[in-house]
């Protein structure tokens, strides 16, 4: 940690894959140069394009990311990881390897005195009925156990099929269906006891929204995905800023 006021960083939706070595490089630079100044780094899901299981920690891309995250947490920056809809199979093995706390979705944290609700964001997209049905299926521990017992090649092939179906269905889904619903946001805020702040990713629609629920104000920050460049949210006692990562 460096001098100056304490701050916390949030990232999500990097979708790291062998096909985009530039994004992995960007993350590795960020983890080496900027992140060590933070007291904590929260990764709110979809760090990876997909995660086939914690027995893949040694694959080259995974190993390089794990090594860099481990170096960060060993250096004293607290690391927290929440699973996304792409990497929900990154579990206790992954968390232990990088030195992170595995956060349930949603999680309520206190950030410099501001109760802040953290989510990946997919659970808020309740109009996407087909996705929510798919989600229930693949979050079933028995389904996961069965998938994880397959050889890697078979897992890879299944994920290829699911990805193809997902992309096909996304083509015909209206854009609004793939965004959060205000009902789901309101419910999440209510269930968490009306925190004044909510942070999530998933939709790739970075913005700051204001909600009023039962007379309580809540600002909702949507994280950006990483594509032409990266982005983090930087939170300190005086507020939130978007930090471009280039
Ligand atoms: O990810 P993104 O943003 O492109 O789209 C999501 C929703 N899609 C998904 C699917 C993921 O992309 C693929 C997940 C890979 C996980 C790796 C581990 C797999 C383990 C499986 C077993 C435990 O999340 C998309 C949303 C979109 O966000 C916006 O919110 O719309 O949802 C879909 O498109 C889902 C479809 O509507 C339904 C998909 C049906 C798939 C049927 C599976 C058939 C199985 C065949 C294989 C044997
Ligand atoms: Mn997502």
The per-residue pLDDT for range 33-42, each reduced to its tens digit, is 999 999 999 9
Taking residues 119-142, what's their average pLDDT? 98
Q: Is residue 112 part of a domain?
A: yes
Overall pTM surpassing 0.95 (yes/no): yes
- Is 193 a member of any domain? yes
For tokens 């080259």, name the residue: 60
- Count structural domains, the chain: 1
Residue 128 Cβ contacting ligand 1 at under 6 Å = yes
- 14 Cβ neighbours under 8 A, 6+ residues apart: 23, 27, 46, 47, 48, 225, 226, 230
CATH number at residue 184: 3.60.21.10
**76 within domain boundaries:** yes
- Provide the pLDDT confidence category of residue 1 given band limits of 50, 70 and 90: low
What pLDDT does residue 2 have?
59
Query: Can you tell me the mean pLDDT for 60-76?
Result: 98
Question: Does residue 178 have its Cβ closer than 6 Å to ligand 1?
Answer: yes
In terms of C-beta density within 10 A (0-12 exposed, 13-18 middle, 19 or more buried), how is residue 204 classed? middle
Average pLDDT over residues 57-64: 98
β-pair partners for 213: 216
Residue 2 lies in a domain: no
74: domain range?
7-245
Q: Is residue 83 part of a domain?
A: yes
Residue 1 lies in a domain: no
Candidate of 12, 56, 158, 166 to mutate for ligand 1, largest count of ligand atoms within 8 Å of Cβ: 166
Q: From the CA of 46, give the closest atom in ligand 1.
A: 1
pLDDT digits (tens, 9 = 90+) for 181-225: 999 999 999 999 999 999 999 999 999 999 999 999 999 999 999
Please report whether residue 186 resides in a domain.
Answer: yes
Supply the mean pLDDT for the chain: 97
216 found inside a domain? yes
């Amino acid at each position: 940690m460096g001098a100056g006021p304490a701050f916390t960083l949030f990232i999500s939706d990097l979708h790291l894959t062998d096909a985009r070595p530039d994004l992995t490089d960007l993350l590795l630079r960020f983890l080496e140069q900027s992140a060590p100044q933070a007291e904590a780094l929260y990764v709110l899901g979809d760090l990876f394009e997909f995660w086939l299981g914690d027995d893949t920690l040694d694959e080259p891309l995974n190993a390089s990311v794990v090594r860099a995250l481990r170096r960060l947490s060993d250096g004293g920056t607290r690391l927290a990881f929440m699973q996304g809809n792409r990497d929900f199979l990154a579990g206790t093995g992954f968390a232990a390897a990088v030195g992170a706390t595995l956060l349930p979705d949603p999680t309520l944290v206190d950030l410099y005195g501001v109760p802040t609700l953290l989510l990946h964001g997919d659970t808020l997209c309740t109009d996407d009925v087909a996705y929510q049905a798919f989600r229930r299926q693949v979050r079933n521990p028995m389904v996961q156990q069965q998938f994880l017992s397959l050889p890697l090649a078979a897992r890879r092939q299944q994920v290829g099929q699911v990805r193809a179906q997902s992309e096909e269905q996304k083509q015909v889904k209206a854009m609004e269906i793939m965004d959060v619903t205000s009902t789901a946001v309101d419910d999440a805020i209510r269930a968490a006891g009306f925190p004044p702040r909510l942070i999530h990713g998933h939709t790739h629609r970075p913005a700051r929204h204001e909600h009023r629920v039962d007379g309580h104000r809540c600002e909702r920050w949507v994280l950006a995905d990483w594509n032409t460049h990266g982005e983090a949210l930087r939170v300190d006692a005086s507020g939130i800023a978007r930090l471009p990562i280039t």
